[in-house]
A = this chain, B = another copy of it.
Amino acid sequence: MTELSPIRIAFLLFPDVTQLDLTGPAQVLSRLGNATVDLVAKTADPVMTDAGFALLPTATFADAVQPDILCIPGGFGVNDAIEDDATMAWVARVAPGAQWITSVCTGSILLGAAGLLTGYRATSHWAQHHLLSEFGAIPVKERVVIDRNRATGGGVTAGIDFAFTLMAAIRGEAHARLVQLSLEYDPAPPFDSGSPARADAATLARYEAMAARAAPGREARTRAAAARLRAG
């Protein structure tokens, strides 16, 4: 076997992250070959996710090794993360040295707030997708968008498609196909309600009500972050 070049992937880990935004692509990318996965947080303490259990950081902002791939997951905690200076300082510090600057779900809102999507095509969770342009990004309604070294995925489960696409770009399609087989990634959703284009009106209305309760004011906070970016 040819030895693959070592590659280090760092996921930002913050409170109230949508855990599958992180753990889905982490599963795929851990099989890049000769890969190291870091979960990087402000402190070494466990970080509570949206799913009712915590994830354990492998490194902190102070001691994390420079990653080759930086990946920002999303979730209702993303606005708090954007408003946290230490978090944004770490992203600003490591992004220039990363080969790939990436996100899943509303992680792209954080990349945008860091000024890392200005002039780049990008995607996000469908419910926040319209806010990408606030940060000077070019919103694209695709599940995975690659523009130069920026790779962004849509909402939550899109992180798996994102990771396979990125894997093929880095290690080639034959490697990605092997990992797809190992993870039996042959999805068969029992219903067809995974996009706002096909969900029925009642489901869409229930989602909007749920999101408003779970993260009141998130749109205003995102717009305020965009205003701060524009103000420099």
> Which residues of A approach B to under 8 Å, CB–CB?
18-20, 23-24, 26-27, 30, 35-39, 46, 50-56, 58, 105, 125-126, 143-144, 154-158, 160-161, 164-165, 168, 173-174, 176-178, 180-191, 193-196, 198-200, 202-204, 206-207, 210-211
Is B186 a contact partner of A164 (Cβ separation < 8 A)? no
How far, in Å, is A103 (CB) from chain B's closest CB? 14
A188 in contact with B36 given A193-B177, A203-B177, A207-B182 (CB within 8 Å): no
Contact B37 A51 (CB under 8 A): yes
Evaluate whether A178 and B210 lie within 8 angstroms (CB atoms) in the complex, with A173-B191, A190-B161 already known.
yes
Number of identical protomers: 2
- Cross-chain contact B210 with A189 (CB below 8 angstroms): no
Q: Is the pair B19, A27 in contact by a Cβ cutoff of 8 Å?
A: yes
Q: Is the CB of A178 within 8 A of B157?
A: no
Please, could you name 24 A-B residue pairs with CB atoms under 8 Å apart, sorted by A? A18-B27, A19-B27, A20-B183, A30-B50, A38-B53, A54-B56, A126-B184, A144-B190, A156-B182, A157-B160, A157-B185, A164-B189, A178-B206, A180-B189, A180-B199, A181-B194, A181-B203, A181-B207, A183-B194, A184-B194, A184-B195, A185-B189, A187-B189, A187-B194
Query: Which of chain B's residues has its CB closest to A22's CB?
Result: B23
| Residues A56 and B53 in contact in the complex (CB < 8 Å), given A24-B24, A144-B190, A160-B187 | yes
16 A-B pairs besides A24-B24, A173-B191 with CB distance below 8 A are A23-B51, A30-B50, A38-B53, A126-B184, A156-B182, A156-B185, A157-B184, A157-B187, A158-B188, A178-B210, A180-B194, A181-B193, A181-B195, A181-B203, A182-B210, A183-B194
